Amino acid sequence: MSEEIKIAETPIVGGDPLGAPQKTAYGKFADAESLFKAYKALEAEFTKRCQELKALEHGLRVSEEELLALKTRLETVLDDEDFLDKAALDGRVQERVIRTYLTARTGLPCTPLLRTGFGFAAGTAVRKPKTLEEARTLAEELLR
């Protein structure tokens, strides 16, 4: 690299009919030494960012592998009939399934299920009409 500086510091000859050496232009830098220092700083920053990018790519690859492993595990669990039978008897699972089903069927958020002595009672949200047109539509649905 020091050879490059010496070459750059050598004045360029030509252009002047008297053969006077021309001054080397370094742009916004005062001399070749400051240009070289700026280049080294830029090179260090570039290397640092490349290393950070490589670390992020590695983290993304690991995350993709973990996601694939979780998906495979989930598929394995869902294929296990014994697990599904036990899960179906769990009250939390039952409540979640029923709430999801009712919300999908009615399009309205479902209130939490109420436990009774003999099982669950599903509470559903009541649609209250806000205009006369909505009230008419609701009455027609009820009378069908």
Mean pLDDT over residues 87-111, rounded? 80
On the question of pLDDT at 95 being above 90, the answer is: no
Predicted pLDDT of residue 78:
83
Longest Cα–Cα distance of the chain, Å, equals: 111
Predicted pLDDT of residue 37:
92
pLDDT tens-place string over residues 43-83? 999 999 999 999 988 888 888 888 888 888 888 888 888 88
Tokens, residue 78 = 């869902």
Q: What pTM value is reported for the model?
A: 0.36
On the question of pLDDT at 103 being above 50, the answer is: yes
On the question of pLDDT at 2 being above 50, the answer is: no
**How many C-beta atoms lie closer than 10 Å to residue 29's C-beta?**
14
Predicted pLDDT of residue 81:
87
For residues 97-130, one letter each, b for 16 or more C-beta atoms within 10 angstroms of the residue's C-beta and e for the rest, the string is eebeebeeeeeeebeebeeeeeeeeeeeeeeeee
* C-beta of residue 84 within 8 angstroms of C-beta of residue 78: yes
pLDDT band at residue 120 using 50, 70 and 90 as cut-offs: low
Task: Domain ranges for the chain, please list them.
Answer: 2-79
On the question of pLDDT at 13 being above 60, the answer is: no
Predicted pLDDT of residue 122:
59
On the question of pLDDT at 100 being above 70, the answer is: yes
On the question of pLDDT at 20 being above 70, the answer is: no
